Structure 1
Amino acid sequence: MTVNTRPKRALLAYCALAQRLSKPGVGITHALIPFFTEANHDLVGQLFDAEKFSLAVSQRFGFSIPRLAALGLTEQLELAGLLEVVSRDGSRTVYKHAAMIPENESVNPVTEAQVERVLSAFFDYCIDDQKINTMERSAIDAAFLHRLLNADSMRILGRKETSITTKRSVDTLSLLRVPRREDQLNGDELHLDYKTSQFLLDIQTKDRAAFELVSDVAFANMAAEAIAVFQEPADTNVPLSGLTIYLDSPILLDMLGVNWEYAEYGSELLATIKNSGARVAVFDHCVMEAEGAIGAQLSYLRSGINSSAHRLGISAKPDLLAALKDRVGERAYERLGIDVERDPEVNLHRHNPTVVGDIEAGMNTSMQAWGNVEAKAHDRKSVWSMLTMRDSSQPCPRVCDSKWIFLSRNTALVKIANAAWTRWLKGTTKHSITHVEKWAPIAMSDKQFAGYIWTRTGGTRSSIPVARLLANCSAAVRPRADVKARAYNLIIELEGREQADDLAALLEDREGAKALMRAVSGDPEDVTRERIPFIIEQVKLAAGEFAAARAREEGELILHERSLAYQAEIDRVSQELVETEGKYVDDLNTVNAKKVQLHEERECLEAQNKILLDALAAKDLAEMERRLTIIAGGFAKGVKTYVRTKWLIVILFTVLTGSVTHLSTDSPTASFVLSTFLAFLGFWFVPDILSGPLNRLSTSVLMKHVSRHDNSINVPHNPPPNFRDNEWCVLNSTHEPVANSSMP
């Protein structure tokens, strides 16, 4: 294990990277500057060496950068102020690490206290384990970081199970293996693997804040490795239609749901590959390997004989295994759309037998520790198939142009395949070492490919790293058959067959098996005579808690059903009430609307009536004015008749008096003047006697005038018109006197 001396700073850097990548507009490569800044602290003032720089990054952050990828980052490191140019001769530039390290400009929302809380919680989680509780805090922190960043490399995932055969009776003898120093070291590693995995699974449900932090670290680790390794331009939204992904057998079984711990992750990985536009396929020999593992697991479940199925971690139920038996290729094609292709004909030994021999020897050396001979044969066949298919005539540095990629969860197999490809290129082609080192690999791990797809999609947040982390943790803590068998055999020796059968019954339940794994931290060597009482107590307690939890769940289910029934009745009554209220509101609204309508109609009628009344009043007023005008005209004529007639009478009497006086013989002139004056004075009042006839004459003129204009007008006679004074109260006061001439 690579020991990280500063796990807290590394976790903070990963959290900062995750936050920077979540911001829009941030360059993907620029986001790695905080990592390179941290790694540069130990190299200040030294000449830049790609291998030293890659080693510094690996020691601090747990991911390695290939030498050529590190060389490709020099210009960006220079722009960031981490490198200085020593000399530049056109074809080669010499850099050295800057003496002054620039401050990180980003503000990390994740504080050191939050990281410390997670690390302290894990340290407290490990206290109850006797094998690792003596380790120093720094070592436990480093172990936690290493497993968090490399969950797929935990030893517990590849641990070969010991004997799973159970004793048939108390008299059955079993040979105990002598413990070695290596076993003690491996035991510590296994305990740390189990504790880390179980801790991460626990905080997923119990501490969401801590789980969000480790999720950011998992995502940032995948992103950092992808950014550092894949230097090709990210063609955003350009599908990988020309690329075919060949699946290894374990990944195929994951996607089929055979390994329940990886089922969800397998489905998500398959969807990611298809969404990228790449074609998904599998070789015939991988299908045969998967079918062999399924058949072996079925045989084991039916007969109790150990099989090679444990290598693939098969954990599915028998019904699913039976449905897939001898039908893996068919189900993969029909259900998942994965093409099944025939293995290519391998005849590379005819082209260059020496290089083929070197590659075969290298693979045998690398696979020497693999105990399963059939598995090694299938893996070698996968490597030779990819070597046969890939074109080595023209350099191909881009993964998207390589046409074929082998995808595996086995990082060791990926390294073996790529090492074989590099050796083949160096031994059979005349390309330069630079081109060979830049060549696209023939195999990628699932983590690498997910990171590659992430870089091509523009750096959007991916859920693949978290799903992969949880899948590996679930596989690490799954119940193991050898642990169960060791506990069963030890109970037979100590307490007899009956007690062992009781324990076996408890272990059939998943909660009991989980409790057994928790008690021994996944290590069968921890099942000892001294610890067996504690182990049994934990299993029974878990089973009792499970039974109590089951009873609580059933009670809660009944309560929930009744609550649902009550709630349904309440909802029904409430609905009826709402409907009644709604109907009442609708009726009330209808009545109010009718009232408003009637009010508006009444106002409209009142307005129309007012208009009609105003029109009628105006008409009546006009008619009255017309009649008054006619009457006023008649009255004016009557007044004129009255005045003329009166003047006529006066003149006649005056002339008559003058004529009589003129006949006087004594003094005719004086008599004439005097008679005239007296006659004028006397007869000025004479018309008063004739006022009645004058009024009647004037009234007759008035009536004739009115009748001539409108005979329907009734002229009022009370009060009678005063023709003498030119007054008549019948006429409106607004009318001026009809005759302005002065009265004699």
Structure 2
Amino acid sequence: MDKFLVNMAIVRVNLDRKGQDILDNYIPLVHETLANMENDIFSVDEFKTRFVEIAEFSIPTGAVLALLKRAMKKYELLIKGESGTYIINRESLQTSGYTSVRDAEQRKYNQLVSKFVRFCKDELDLTIEHDSAASYFFEVLFDLAPLLFKNISDAEKLKINHSDKNRYLVARFISYANNADQESFESILSFVRGSILTETFYYSQNPTDIENKPLRRVVVYFDTQFLIRLLGFSDSALCAPSQELWEMLKEMQVKMRCFQDTLDEIHGILFAALNQMDSHGRLKPNRPSDIFDYITQNNIKPSDLTIILNTLEEKLKDRQVYVEPRPKLIDAYSFDHELLGEKLSTVFELQSEKARQHDINCLQAVFQIREGRKQEYLDRCKAIFITTNSQLAQLSTHFFNEQYGPSSAAVCMGDHVFASLVWMKSVKKITDLPKDRLVANCYSALLPSESLWSEYIREVTRLQDQGAITQEDYHVLIYGMASREQLMEHVFSSDDNMFGSVEEILDRAKREYTKEVNERLSTIEGVATKQSDIIDSLVGSIGRVVETIVLVIILCCWVIVLGYALLYTSPTSITDLKSLSPKSIVFLVLLAVTLLNLIFGIRLVDVCRNIANKSGEAVKVWIRNRYNM
């Protein structure tokens, strides 16, 4: 399995190289496959079989033919033989650098696995075998590249090992790496980029069509959660991918729409929030990071929420997303709503009947716009429904494939996958899109599921009703980020059920809050001390400047008075002093200073310094009182 991840890292997109398209990224794998062919003359099926052995994933025959054509015409690795066969040009194969690239990526991958194993042991007290660590990283691809995941050689084994716990563990590690270990994060991102690129192989008969054919004739309809994230009513990590997809579609001049039913559903959510705020004062989120949680965390007032309600359609128009009425049902283009509803209710047990019917109606509308036909080409499919719910996308695709045959352009597509396809078509590619997709995927994995959160809410409410926890404890458990982190850590680190665990989660959350508050206080005290030192230094400098200025002024005055006295004020007789003229006064002052110095040892310069010091201190006191320092 690790060979697959290494190959995905090798395939990763290099957007800086001119004249290179999607097929060129796979030429190293084609090189290696051809080098390991037993015979120089081979058929397409023989090449495909060997390619799967080397790459550890299968690709459609159309993609295989496109790769062989590229290897023959651009790289001269092959010569066309008779009866659909190909002949290997062994001389050209000698220029392949696959082995050195593979070894370099393998070393990076080995380091990544070692760090993951050590992280689980040190941070989560969980022992993971080095050989089984690869299966955890495949959890990343389950949503980002669902069709590629199904075509991996060990797909069945990976499906058995797939679990929310494994997804949570690798998400914890990726979140840590993104913040503290960029080398590991880049290693993960490299095979994520390669996987996103490879996923596009399964949506067209010819992979180059993904890049070359625009979507201008396709109308894209968004679901409720996508629009909520597009408008920014969720956590920024979840909103970023939706906003990036919107930017690419806008740049490509793709028509973006939503059905009136979808706008009504958003209105209904906001009205419910407004009513709950009026009744209880504070919202109880149905799931962390939903719109109720966003309103609470951002302290949005009822008046602000009312403004949002009244300007919702205008906000969508500003983003060039226009509202359309859902077309009336035409029986000829209808599918079995009841059967699809049963499949949805089996997977989404907590979904309301109203929400389920909304999904079915939107799928019906898009299917009807397509005139009830399966579509082979994404750029000609007329309409497509984009959802943030990857399970809905996969389940509905499976339903339509069963009823009407496989299609390369599904009626409903997850926003992760659709963004990858649009990204390949976009002229101005958003370089951070794979990273933002990875971060959003991991962020979702670190949040409690809807079923877990509902169970948790019931237990917290039960304890409050029994008086086991206070109102303040209730708020910490429901709205505190530390409580949510502790909830996820508790659930995935033990086999206990929720009951009897809330007190432990509360205790851990309080400890985390205390630790966090102490750290913040220490930081604030450090900053305050530093700022106080800077202020003291500044005020002291100002005081010293004032002292120096006053001292210089006083001394200059005394020097002038002394010079004047020596030259002009000496009396010719004692009787001249009786007149108390200015000259006499100056002489008497000079005499007094002289006597004080001779008899008491008082120096004039000391008197001047004392006056200057008092002046400086007075200025410092004034500055502190003036600016409340």
TM-score bracket, normalised by the shorter chain, equals 0.5 to 0.7
Q: 1:44 to 1:341 in 2, by over 3 A?
A: farther
| Residue 357 (structure 2) pairs with residue 383 (structure 1) | no
| Residue 511 (structure 2) pairs with residue 541 (structure 1) | yes
Match of 1:478 among 447, 454, 462: 447
**1:342: Cα distance to partner?**
0.8
Superposed CA RMSD: 5.0
| Residue 477 (structure 2) pairs with residue 507 (structure 1) | yes
Q: 1:235 to 1:19 in 2, by over 3 A?
A: closer
Aligned residue type for 2:474: A
Q: 1:444 to 1:492 in 2, by over 3 A?
A: closer
| Residue 261 (structure 2) pairs with residue 281 (structure 1) | no
**Following the alignment from structure 2 to structure 1, what is the Cα–Cα distance between the partners of residues 308 and 53?**
46
**1:407: Cα distance to partner?**
1.5
TM-score normalized by the length of structure 2 = 0.65
Q: Is the 8 A contact 1:84 1:96 kept in 2?
A: yes
Match of 1:254 among 217, 225, 229: 229
1:481-519 CA-partner distances (Å, limit 9, x unpaired): 4475477479789xx845566643543563422441353
Match of 2:134 among 124, 129, 141: 141
Q: 1:120 to 1:233 in 2, by over 3 A?
A: closer
**1:122: Cα distance to partner?**
1.6
**Following the alignment from structure 1 to structure 2, what is the Cα–Cα distance between the partners of residues 570 and 119?**
57
Corresponding residue number in structure 1 for 2:110? 116
What are the within-5 Å matches in structure 2 for residues 217-616 of structure 1? 217-226=191-200, 229-230=203-204, 231=206, 233=208, 240-260=215-235, 261-296=237-272, 309-310=286-287, 313-314=290-291, 315-318=293-296, 319=300, 322-323=305-306, 326-327=309-310, 329-347=312-330, 349=331, 351=332, 356-357=335-336, 361=339, 364-365=342-343, 368-371=346-349, 372=351, 373-391=353-371, 397-418=376-397, 440-457=409-426, 460=429, 462-478=431-447, 481-482=453-454, 484-485=456-457, 488=460, 497=467, 503-507=473-477, 510-521=480-491, 526=496, 535=505, 538-558=508-528
In structure 1, the gaps of 5 or more residues are: 1-5, 155-184, 427-435, 574-744
**1:331: Cα distance to partner?**
4.7
**1:282: Cα distance to partner?**
0.6
**Following the alignment from structure 2 to structure 1, what is the Cα–Cα distance between the partners of residues 64 and 489?**
45
**Following the alignment from structure 1 to structure 2, what is the Cα–Cα distance between the partners of residues 25 and 566?**
63
1:159-217 CA-partner distances (Å, limit 9, x unpaired): xxxxxxxxxxxxxxxxxxxxxxxxxx999822211111121111111112222222232
**Following the alignment from structure 2 to structure 1, what is the Cα–Cα distance between the partners of residues 533 and 248?**
42
Q: Is the 8 A contact 1:234 1:457 kept in 2?
A: no
Corresponding residue number in structure 1 for 2:563? none
**Following the alignment from structure 2 to structure 1, what is the Cα–Cα distance between the partners of residues 195 and 260?**
34
**Following the alignment from structure 1 to structure 2, what is the Cα–Cα distance between the partners of residues 150 and 463?**
20
SS of aligned partner of 1:25: coil
TM-score normalized by the length of structure 1 = 0.56
Corresponding residue number in structure 1 for 2:119? 125
Corresponding residue number in structure 1 for 2:188? 214
SS of aligned partner of 1:368: helix
1:634-684 CA-partner distances (Å, limit 9, x unpaired): xxxxxxxxxxxxxxxxxxxxxxxxxxxxxxxxxxxxxxxxxxxxxxxxxxx
Q: Is the 8 A contact 1:68 1:437 kept in 2?
A: no
**Following the alignment from structure 2 to structure 1, what is the Cα–Cα distance between the partners of residues 78 and 273?**
56
Task: Give the share of equivalent positions with the same residue, in percent.
Answer: 16
Q: 1:396 to 1:534 in 2, by over 3 A?
A: closer
**Following the alignment from structure 2 to structure 1, what is the Cα–Cα distance between the partners of residues 461 and 161?**
21
Q: 1:481 to 1:289 in 2, by over 3 A?
A: same
Corresponding residue number in structure 2 for 1:14? 8
- Please tell me whether Structure 1 or Structure 2 has the larger radius of gyration of its CA atoms: 1
**Following the alignment from structure 2 to structure 1, what is the Cα–Cα distance between the partners of residues 468 and 271?**
32
Q: Is the 8 A contact 1:407 1:445 kept in 2?
A: yes
Corresponding residue number in structure 2 for 1:196? 170
SS of aligned partner of 2:101: coil
SS of aligned partner of 1:316: helix
**1:114: Cα distance to partner?**
2.5
Q: 1:35 to 1:409 in 2, by over 3 A?
A: farther
Q: 1:363 to 1:124 in 2, by over 3 A?
A: same
**1:123: Cα distance to partner?**
1.8
1:415-439 CA-partner distances (Å, limit 9, x unpaired): 455556667766xxxxxxxxx856x
**1:277: Cα distance to partner?**
1.5
**1:56: Cα distance to partner?**
3.9
SS of aligned partner of 1:344: coil
Aligned residue type for 1:338: V
**Following the alignment from structure 1 to structure 2, what is the Cα–Cα distance between the partners of residues 369 and 75?**
43
**Following the alignment from structure 1 to structure 2, what is the Cα–Cα distance between the partners of residues 228 and 41?**
26
Q: Is the 8 A contact 1:488 1:500 kept in 2?
A: no
Q: 1:22 to 1:50 in 2, by over 3 A?
A: farther
Aligned residue type for 2:257: A
Q: Is the 8 A contact 2:140 2:167 kept in 1?
A: no
Corresponding residue number in structure 2 for 1:433? none
**1:311: Cα distance to partner?**
11
**Following the alignment from structure 1 to structure 2, what is the Cα–Cα distance between the partners of residues 214 and 320?**
41
Q: 1:241 to 1:503 in 2, by over 3 A?
A: same
Q: Is the 8 A contact 1:12 1:112 kept in 2?
A: yes
**Following the alignment from structure 2 to structure 1, what is the Cα–Cα distance between the partners of residues 288 and 476?**
26
In structure 2, the gaps of 5 or more residues are: 147-158, 544-629
**1:220: Cα distance to partner?**
2.3
Corresponding residue number in structure 1 for 2:56? 60
Aligned residue type for 1:25: G
**1:275: Cα distance to partner?**
1.5
**1:343: Cα distance to partner?**
0.6
Aligned residue type for 2:139: R
**Following the alignment from structure 1 to structure 2, what is the Cα–Cα distance between the partners of residues 292 and 41?**
61
Q: Is the 8 A contact 2:168 2:446 kept in 1?
A: yes
